[in-house]
Structure 1
Amino acid sequence: MFSDADAAALYDLLNPWDPEQWPADRFFDELLMAAGSVLDVGCGTGAMLHRARERGHGGRLVGLDPDPAALARARRRTDVEWFKGAAADAAWDAEFELALMVSHAFQCLVTDDDVRTSLAAIHEALCVGGRFAFETRHPQARVWEDWNLSHASDVIDAGGRALRVWNEVESVTGDVVRFRGITAEPGGPLLRADRTSLRFLDVGTLDGFLAEAGFVVEARYGDWDRGPLTRTSREIITIARRAG
């Protein structure tokens, strides 16, 4: 058996939160540590907020995620507020200086309604002038073309099991990519297959949704060194501000 709890632990193994090693983590960590109150939308296993507390963040930290297994790992730390729910379930009223969606969580908002209701809820959760920072993979990079067995990762999990992990694209329809995340024994049986859909919004469409929700784009980058967005950028990194 490879349970939901096993999958959550494997996620932490494959995606350790480390601002000293990973430029994306450093980018968001700097924003987080400078804000007095932070809402982490799609917090997953809570690694980002755990580290913030460890490094002395003394303000309010709140994590929101729909995955019970991920939240079970997040709740190992009790000095952070944890809530079960999706982005659209955020029910706070002008309580946060900063909202974050990291690790491409924004791309899980697949339909127009998903995007609109989620942005509206995040907008209301922020105080006036509060900021929302997130990233989405730029569609021009076509990163899904590398999601196949030839780009698998081999790891040893906490229980000592040898595992091979990769993504397998099932379909590309418009700007939505549907794929399976595969976990298997190397050269052996498949242990788990998780289907996921991600949306790859272009800049114009993304900015239309942000403006409709009452956000003003404060900064836009194409890489984690805060370089400009170009025709070769692999990321669309956005800091948006609640205008009113």
Structure 2
Amino acid sequence: MDAAVVFSDADAAALYDLLNPWDPERCPSDGFYHELVMAAGSVLDVGCGTGAMLHLARERGHPGRLVGLDPDRAALARARRRTDIEWVESTAAAARWDAAFDLATMTSHAFQCLVTDAELRASLTAVHTALRSGGRFAFETRHPQARAWEEWNPSKASDLVDAAGRALRVWHETESVIGDVVTFTGTTAAADGTVLRVDRTRLRFLDVALLDAFLVDAGFTIEARYGTWDGGPVTGTSREIITIARRR
């Protein structure tokens, strides 16, 4: 069975929106970023996915330049349903703007998809270059001390009906943990258990010290650091490392 035919990339992008609705009023992380975006004159959303954050910003009256960047063509096809925002198919490392934005963001733990040292350095350098002097880069990464990957297993499956009326079951399962890199699979199955699609992802779980070393090397200073979305500090029990870094 060809999973790409049974459950296409376009289907997967639509399912992502269903599983992850952008709602600043109900989701503290969405509210955190929405406030930053609405206060910035120009915004680059790196790893924008289906574009929900920028869609809502424009819908709610953001008057400035909004640009979404992502290498996922199917996700960008959904993002492009709104044409008053710029959409660019590319990776963070390949971004070529120079001093064009007041704010850059990476939401939904997209930062963790930068796995190798080379990817991190190239991507941070490109984001730094894209920002104006004093511009800010806001993102979050899961704190490794919380060991989030231990919760990724079929017992945490979600059952839902997608926009096409299909009853689906979706779950994640950790495949390996090697150093600070976690490989896991995301499975989409029919209600009867028939597997329709399996996607494999690698994420890097940086601790605070190593994260900050990469940021400083790229020319950033740490403006703010939080362990919770309501502005609490990073502690020994924090699940998130939320960072606002400023271009020097």
Q: Give the TM-score range, shorter chain.
A: over 0.9
Aligned-pair identity (%): 74
Paired residues for 1:35-114 under 5 Å: 35-114=40-119
- SS of 1:79's equivalent? coil
1:130-163 CA-partner distances (Å, limit 9, x unpaired): 0000000000000110100000111100010000
2-structure distance, mates of 1:92, 1:121: 8
TM-superposed deviation, 1:185: 1.2
Q: Match of 1:158? A: 163
- Count the aligned residue pairs: 243
Paired residues for 1:198-213 under 5 Å: 198-213=203-218
Matched, 1:21 2:10: no
- SS of 2:93's equivalent? helix
- SS of 1:168's equivalent? strand
Residue identity matched to 1:133: A
Q: Match of 1:177? A: 182
2:153 to 113, 127, 148: 148
1-structure distance, mates of 2:60, 2:45: 17
2-structure distance, mates of 1:83, 1:42: 10
Q: Which runs of 5+ in 1 are unaligned?
A: none
TM-superposed deviation, 1:188: 2.0
Q: Match of 2:123? A: 118
Q: Match of 2:194? A: 189
Instruction: List structure 1 runs of 4+ shifted beyond 6 angstroms.
Output: none
Q: Which runs of 5+ in 2 are unaligned?
A: 1-5
2:17 to 1, 12, 19: 12
TM-superposed deviation, 1:129: 0.2
2-structure distance, mates of 1:213, 1:128: 14
1-structure distance, mates of 2:241, 2:107: 12
Matched, 1:32 2:12: no
2-structure distance, mates of 1:28, 1:22: 10
1:39-76 CA-partner distances (Å, limit 9, x unpaired): 00000000000000000000000000000000000000
Q: Match of 2:3? A: none
Give the TM-score normalised by structure 2: 0.97
Matched, 1:214 2:219: yes
